[in-house]
C-alpha cells in the first residue's frame, strides 16, 4: 500500500498554463506539506497544513494555491506557470505538526515548464 | 539567518566506511534528522537525534554534538546501493524543519 501518493508523476506544460498536482496520504497523519526541490537539490518548504488548516506559508508566489479538502489530501494548484517553476514537487505527511515527527514523502512530481 | 552546511559530494569505495558531516546554525534546536534520497526518488527517513551522542542502527550511525552544532552520519560496509544523496535537517525553535542541500555520495567498486 502506498503511504503518500502524488499524481501526476510527470507534468510537462507550456508557460502561462494552469495545472494541479494531487496528494493523498493513507497514514492517518494530521499534517501534510508541499516542498519544491530545484535543480540544485535543495528541498524548500512551501506550505504545511494541519487538519486542513494552513500553518506554514513560506514566501511563495500567490500563483501557488494549496487546497486541503480533508486531512488526507493536500492539492497544489499553480496558475500562470513560469519557466522557474520547473522543479520536482514533493508532498509529505507527518503524524503531527510538532516538527519532531518523521516526515514521509510522496514519490514526487517532476514539473517541466516549456 | 539559519544555515546548514554539508559537503556537496563525496566518493567512497564499496566495503569501506564514510562519514558525512553536517554543521548547523539555527535559531534554537529541537532535533536533527538524516534522510536518504536516491536519484529520482523521494527522501526516506534514516535517523533522528535530539540528545548528544551516537545512535547506531545497523550499518548506519548518526552522531550529534549540540554544543558544537555538529552531526555526522557514518555508513559502514558500504554497498553500491548506498549511492544516494544524504540530507541533514534541523528542527528550529519554532519547530520548523530546516533542510541542508544534501551530500551526494558516490560509491565505487
Is pLDDT at A86 greater than 80 in this prediction? Answer: yes
The answer to whether B1 and B67 have CB atoms below 8 angstroms apart is no
Report the DSSP pairing between strands B9-13 and A87-94: unpaired
Q: Which of A44, A97, A105 sits opposite B42 (nearest CB)?
A: A105
The answer to whether B71 and B4 have CB atoms below 8 angstroms apart is no
Neighbours of A5 (CB within 10 A): 15
Does the beta-carbon distance from B45 to A102 stay under 8 Å? yes
Q: How far from A113 is each of A14, A24, B60, CA to CA, in Å?
A: 5, 24, 38
Confidence of residue A58 (pLDDT cuts 50, 70, 90): confident
Does the beta-carbon distance from B41 to A106 stay under 8 Å? no
Confidence of residue A1 (pLDDT cuts 50, 70, 90): low
C-alpha grid cell for residue A102? 518523521
pLDDT tens track for B78-92: 999 999 999 999 999
Give the alpha-carbon dihedral of B81, B82, B86, B91, to 10 degrees.
Answer: 100
Confidence of residue B23 (pLDDT cuts 50, 70, 90): very high
Helix, strand, or coil here: A30?
Answer: coil
Distance between CA atoms of residues B74 and B72, nearest Å = 6
Q: What is the mean pLDDT of residues B20-49?
A: 95
Q: How much is the pLDDT for A13?
A: 96
pLDDT tens track for B37-53: 999 999 999 999 999 99
Q: How much is the pLDDT for A51?
A: 87
Residue of A nearest to B36 (CA): A105
Count Cβ–Cβ pairs < 8 Å, chain A vs chain B.
51
pLDDT tens track for A87-113: 999 999 999 887 789 999 999 999 999
Which residues of chain A have a CB within 8 Å of the CB of B40?
Answer: 108
Report the DSSP pairing between strands A31-37 and A43-50: antiparallel
Amino acid at each position: 500500500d502506498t503511504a503518500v501518493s502524488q499524481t501526476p508523476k510527470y507534468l510537462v506544460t507550456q508557460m502561462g498554463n494552469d495545472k494541479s498536482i494531487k496528494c493523498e496520504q493513507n497514514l492517518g497523519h494530521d499534517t501534510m506539506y508541499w516542498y519544491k526541490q530545484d535543480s540544485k537539490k535543495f528541498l524548500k518548504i512551501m506550505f504545511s497544513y494541519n487538519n486542513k488548516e494552513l500553518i506554514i506559508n513560506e514566501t511563495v508566489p500567490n500563483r501557488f494555491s494549496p487546497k486541503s479538502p480533508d486531512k488526507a489530501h493536500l492539492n497544489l494548484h499553480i496558475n500562470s506557470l513560469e519557466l522557474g517553476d520547473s522543479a520536482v514537487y514533493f508532498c509529505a505527511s507527518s503524524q503531527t505538526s510538532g516538527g519532531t515527527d518523521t516526515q514521509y514523502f510522496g514519490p514526487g512530481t517532476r514539473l517541466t515548464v516549456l | 539567518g539559519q544555515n546548514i552546511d554539508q559537503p556537496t559530494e563525496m566518493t567512497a569505495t564499496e566495503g569501506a566506511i564514510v562519514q558525512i558531516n553536517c554543521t548547523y546554525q539555527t535559531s534554537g534546536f529541537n532535533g536533527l534528522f538524516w534522510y536518504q534520497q536516491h536519484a529520482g526518488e523521494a527522501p526516506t527517513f534514516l535517523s533522528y537525534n535530539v540528545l548528544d551522542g551516537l545512535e547506531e542502527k545497523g550499518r548506519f550511525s548518526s552522531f550529534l554534538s549540540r554544543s558544537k552544532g555538529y552531526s555526522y552520519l557514518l555508513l559502514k560496509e558500504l554497498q553500491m546501493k548506498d549511492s544516494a544523496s544524504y540530507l541533514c535537517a534541523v528542527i528550529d525553535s519554532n519547530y520548523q524543519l530546516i533542510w541542508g542541500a544534501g551530500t551526494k555520495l558516490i560509491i565505487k567498486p
